[in-house]
Structure 1
Amino acid sequence: MLRVLAVDDEKPLLEELLYLLRSDPRIRSAEGASDATEALRRITVALEAGPDGADGIDVVFLDIHMAGLTGLDIARLLAGFARPPLIVFVTAHEGFAVQAFDLKAVDYVLKPVRPQRLAEAVRRACAQLGQPGDVSPTAAGSAPAPLTAPAAHAGSGAPLLPRPAAPAAVADRAAEQIAVELGGVTRFVAIADIAYVEAQGDYARLHTDEGSHLVRIALSTLEERWAARGFVRIHRRHLVALARIDELRLEAGTTSVRVGSAELQVSRRHARELRDLLMRHATG
C-alpha cells in the first residue's frame, strides 16, 4: 500500500485531493503540505529515514503553480536524490506536461480531479513500485451507475418514463437543496441536513452528519440566503443551523456551542444575539 504526500497551496483543493486519496484502498496513508517548504521538509525527513522508515513517502501528488518554488522546481530537486519518491503532477494547466514527463513523472492529472482519473494515477504508481494496482471500480471511486428507466407495462412497446415535475415543484426542490461537486460528479445535499458551514477562503465547507462538502460560495452569501432557514452567524468562520445547536457553553469569558461532535467558538459580537435567539427558539 502506498504512503503519499499531497502538495497544494490552495487549502480547499488540498483537502479535496486528500479526501479522494484516503478513499482509495491502495493508499495506506495520505498527508498534506500547503507549500513547497513544508513539502521539502517532509520529503527530506522521509529520505533520511529510508524507504522502510516510519515517515516514508512512496508518491508525491504535486501541484505545479505555487507561491515560491513551483512543483516543477521541487521535482527537479528530488531528481538529484538516489531513491526519490515517485511524482504525480496534479494541476489545472495543460502546458507543462512535456516538462513533467521529462522529469520522469508517473502521471499528469488535470484539475478538477475526477476520482476515476486519480485512481488510474494510483494504479500507475503501484505498477511502477511493483505493488498490486487492481481495485474494484466501486472502491476506485467510479461514478454511480446511471438510473434505468422503469420496466414497460406488459404488452407495451416502449418503457414508461417518469412524468416531468411541474415547474413549481422543481423550483421548490431546488430551493431545498444545494449542488456540490466532487471530482466532476455533482450531488445535491438537502439544506435541512447541514449542521454548520465553515469558511475556507473563497469556498465554504458544508458539514452534515454524513461528512462534509466543499462549495465555491462565500460564507456571507450563504448567510444571506439561509437566514430564513434558521442559520445564524456565530463567528467570521462559522454559520450554524440554530436547531442543530446541542449546547451553549460559557467558560472564562468565552462562548462556544456544541453541534454534534464539533465545538465551535462564538465571537463576542455574536454571543449576545445568539443567546437571545436560542432562548426564543427554546420557548417556541
Structure 2
Amino acid sequence: MSTQVSDGLTVLAVDDEEPALQELAHLLNEDHRVGTVLTAPDATEALRILGSRPGAGPGESGVDVVFLDIRMPGLDGLELARVLSAMASPPPVVFVTAHDDRAVDAYEIGAVDYLLKPLRSERLAGSIDRTIATKAQSRPMPARPAPQGPPARPEPPEDEVIPVELAGTTKLVPRSTVRFVEAQGDYARLHTTEGGHLVRIPLSVLEERWREAGFVRIHRAYLVSLPLITELRLSGSGYVVRIGHGPGAPELPVSRRHTAALKRILRGRPPREEGPTGPLARIR
C-alpha cells in the first residue's frame, strides 16, 4: 500500500497490527518532509516492496527510511533489519515498539532511533531529523584527483552530528564538541563544551562508532576524547585522567582493565599542535 502526498522522503512502515500501522502512516503523512508512505503488514511484504521499487539498483532499497515494529510473526523486526543491513546501500531503520527491552539490540544493529508506543508526533519528527542527518553523513563525496608528490597525512574522520531532543526541540550536536561520554543505563550523556545531553544510545555503540574518531574507553561508564586527555595519574583509589586544563577540568576514573592499554595509547600518541609539549602533559 502506498500513500503519496508530496515530494519528499519515501518511507516504508512495517507493523503486523493494522491499527498501529495506520496510525504510524497517518503521523508520517503529517510531516511535511515525508512524500511517500509505503506500508507492509509483515517482513515478507516489506521485502517484496523493497525489491520492486522503481529506480532501485542492485543492493539498494529504493526508500529513504524503514520504520519497523520489533515483535512480528515470522521474520521479526530485528531479523529484517539484519537482512537490510546486508544491502550495499541499506536504508536507515527506526524501530517502533511497545517494548523497551530491545533497545540495546536495536542500536547494535545500527538503528537510527528507537520509538516507544504510543507514538507522539514530536518524537516521530525527531526520528525524521535523525534520518536526514544520517543520510547527509552517508552521502558519497566527489572523487578527488590523485595527489602528486609525497603522500598526504590521512584526513580525520568526517565530524558526525548527533540529534539531541531538548524541551521539544531537536538540537544537532557535533561530535567534535564532545569531551567525554558517560553511560546511564541504555542511555549515554554527552558532555560537551556547552553542557550535557542525554541520548538514547548505549555507550558500547558509541565506543564502536567513534573509535576511528579518537574516542577511547577508560571505564565501563566512560568514553573519552583521546586528544583532550592532559594527565593520567595514580590517586588513592586508582588511576584517573584529567580532561583539559584549568581548575574546573574534570577528572574521570580509569578501571584496572583499561589502564595498561590507555598507557600504551598515550605514550604512542603524537605530540599535539597546541597545549603542553609531548604526547601527554603528565603520566604518573
* Band of TM-score, shorter chain: 0.3 to 0.5
* TM-score normalised over the length of structure 2: 0.43
Q: Which has more radius of gyration? A: 1
* TM-score normalised over the length of structure 1: 0.43
